[in-house]
Amino acid sequence: MRNPWWSFGVFVFVCSSGWAEDALVERAEWGRFFEEAKAEGTVVVLDERGEGGGASGVYDGERAKKRLTPASTFKIPHTLFALDAGVVRDEFQVFEWDGEQRPIETWNRDQDLRSSMRNSVVWVYEKFAREIGDEAEIEYLKKVGYGNEEVTGMKPFWVEGDLAISAVEQVAFLKRLYRNELPFKVEHQRLVKDVMIVEAGRDWILRAKTGWSGEIGGGVGWVEWPTGPGFFALNIDTPGRMEDLPKREGITRAVLREVGALP
């Protein structure tokens, strides 16, 4: 099944989110995928597939440390917040469309958690944010150490506002989610991972989420194998706006195939 989404040196960094003292090789050769797409950006890959893995690396390590808007990639932690707060019960709860016509046709209908994640339905998550409230949102952000932990600025704060997170921190967060190590019920973490599935093969699963602020596009997730996961986080500039969006998935897939983490 498939759903559209998304000179050598050692680059060392320490992430406050729990990914500590990892060294990634600066993969200058991955630059050709950005050049072919005519895109400026960064990608981080943390390969934990065990024997046969070891393809961890980063392209543009300095940018990978820079905090940028998460846009709709924030739907991953936001879903956990909503489940914990009781704003959403499970993947079967229906969120009734308010009848307002929005520019993306798949948004103009009733939604559940799975469709809201798959179609990146902003109005559902704006509803979650209103019901959770800014004060609780801040507490949740601090609880998981998500980026700069800010909800200030324009709304929605994860797209138009001040919330920002780096590609390195995105991978650190995903690693904790994969291992059910976030401070939430295990069943909630498993549910979020379930609704993140966009594609699967006989022995692998791709779990991912894209995002776009209008200026920055991104994609985060991991490819899950019997030998372990290969995590990734990408962000690119999108001066061509919607015309640039397919580049997120194209570059990510090219890099993952290059290292053997995606068929």
Delimit the domains of the chain by residue range.
Answer: 10-258
Average pLDDT of the residues of the chain: 91
In this prediction, residue 143 has a pLDDT band, given cuts at 50, 70 and 90, of: very high
For 141-210, give the DSSP string: HHHHT-TT----BSSSTTTTBS--B-HHHHHHHHHHHHTT-SSS-HHHHHHHHHHTEEEE-SS-EEEEEE
Mean pLDDT, rounded, for 42-55: 82
* Spatial distance between the Cα atoms of 170 and 20, rounded to a whole number of angstroms: 13
**Does the structure show a pLDDT above 70 at 128?**
yes
Residue 64 DSSP label: H
**Ranges 11-15, 46-50, 84-88, 171-175: which has the least confidence:** 11-15
**Does the structure show a pLDDT above 60 at 119?**
yes
What's the longest Cα–Cα distance across the chain? 55
Residue 24 has what pLDDT?
76
**Does the structure show a pLDDT above 90 at 240?**
yes
Fold (topology level) of 10-258: Beta-lactamase (3.40.710)
Strand stretches in the chain, DSSP E = 10-13, 22-26, 41-47, 57-59, 197-200, 205-212, 216-225, 228-237
Give the pLDDT confidence of 66-92 residue by residue, as tens digits. 999 999 999 999 999 999 999 999 999
% residues pLDDT > 70 (the chain): 90
Which residue from 1, 6, 3 is spatially nearest to 254, judged by alpha carbons? 6
Residue 68's Cβ-count burial label (10 Å; 0-12, 13-18, 19+) is buried
**Does the structure show a pLDDT above 70 at 4?**
no
Residue 195 has what pLDDT?
98
**Ranges 19-33, 38-52, 114-128, 139-153: which has the least confidence:** 19-33
Instruction: Read off the amino acid at residue 12.
Output: V
Token pair recorded at residue 4: 């559209």
- Whether the CB-CB separation of 60 and 166 falls below 8 Å is answered with no
**Does the structure show a pLDDT above 80 at 8?**
no
In this prediction, residue 52 has a pLDDT band, given cuts at 50, 70 and 90, of: low
Residue 67 has what pLDDT?
98
Residue 50 has what pLDDT?
78
Mean pLDDT, rounded, for 249-259: 96
Give the pLDDT confidence of 169-194 residue by residue, as tens digits. 999 999 999 999 999 999 999 999 99
Q: Which phi and psi angles does 22 have, rounded to 5°?
A: -95, 140
Q: Could you tell me the pTM of the whole model?
A: 0.91
In this prediction, residue 7 has a pLDDT band, given cuts at 50, 70 and 90, of: very low
User: What crossing angle do the helices spanning 75-85 and 167-178 adopt, rounded to 10°?
Assistant: 50
- Active site residues per annotation: 72
In this prediction, residue 54 has a pLDDT band, given cuts at 50, 70 and 90, of: low
